[in-house]
């Protein structure tokens, strides 16, 4: 650019600063959680797929939503949907250990969907995924069974509270356009 003005330089600097923020928006593809079954669950494994992330608890009035989460996973798994359960003790309603949570979910709900280890979803110890949601979407789980739909491109496609059931029209209407036709 010949003889840039101060305004041109400031505009370019602002543009570069704005572009520097984009990696944070694409970061969901790289986040990792400990798997309740051992090992790691990585968003990069599910790149290009929609992911419904739900913070859960075993002793909550909404715990019966596990049935709906599993049914949703069963219905759309072959078309690419991932349903990720994130047990959390942040609301003081989770069991004492990952092993207890895994056994509870297997015995009571026969869950086959991916599940993380017990994870903080709010506050100073929140997992980076939840920190990102708070920063970019102004969304912090207010209770157990809040739902976040991440699109195939890594962007947020929907946010729902505890009272919205996993198989609700609001959630399925957001998921279906993100899946290939069967």
Q: Which residue has the tokens 């069963």?
A: 74
Contact 73, 113 (CB under 8 A): yes
> What does the H/E/C string look like for 16-58?
HHHHHCHHHHHHHHHCEEEECCCCEEEHHHHCCCCEEEEEECC
> From the CB of residue 11, how many other CB atoms can be counted at a distance below 10 Å?
12
The β-bridge relationship of strands 147-150 and 82-87 is: unpaired
Catalytic-residue membership of 105 = no
Residues with Cβ < 8 Å from 79, sequence gap 6 or more?
179, 180, 182
Instruction: List the alpha helices (DSSP H) in the chain.
Output: 6-20, 22-26, 65-76, 98-109, 128-137, 169-175
**Taking the CA of residue 73 as centre, how many other CA atoms within 13 Å lie in the half-sphere pointing to its CB?**
21
Q: Which residues are known to be catalytic?
A: 60
């Amino acid at each position: 650019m010949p003889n840039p003005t101060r305004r041109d330089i400031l505009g370019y600097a602002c543009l570069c600063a704005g572009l520097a923020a984009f990696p944070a928006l694409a970061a969901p593809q790289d986040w990792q959680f400990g798997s309740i079954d051992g090992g790691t669950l990585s968003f990069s494994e599910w790149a290009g797929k929609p992911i419904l992330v739900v913070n859960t608890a075993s002793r909550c009035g909404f715990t019966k939503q596990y049935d709906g989460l599993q049914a949703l996973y069963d219905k759309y798994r072959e078309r690419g949907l991932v349903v990720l359960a994130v047990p959390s003790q942040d609301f003081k309603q989770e069991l004492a250990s990952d092993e207890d949570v895994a056994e509870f979910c297997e015995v009571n709900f026969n869950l086959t969907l991916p599940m993380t280890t017990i994870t903080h979803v709010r506050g100073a110890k929140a997992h980076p995924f939840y920190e990102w949601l708070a920063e970019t979407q102004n969304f912090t789980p207010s209770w157990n069974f809040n739902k976040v739909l991440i699109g195939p491109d890594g962007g947020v496609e929907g946010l729902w509270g505890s009272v919205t059931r996993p198989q609700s029209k609001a959630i399925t209407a957001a998921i279906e356009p993100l899946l290939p036709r069967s």
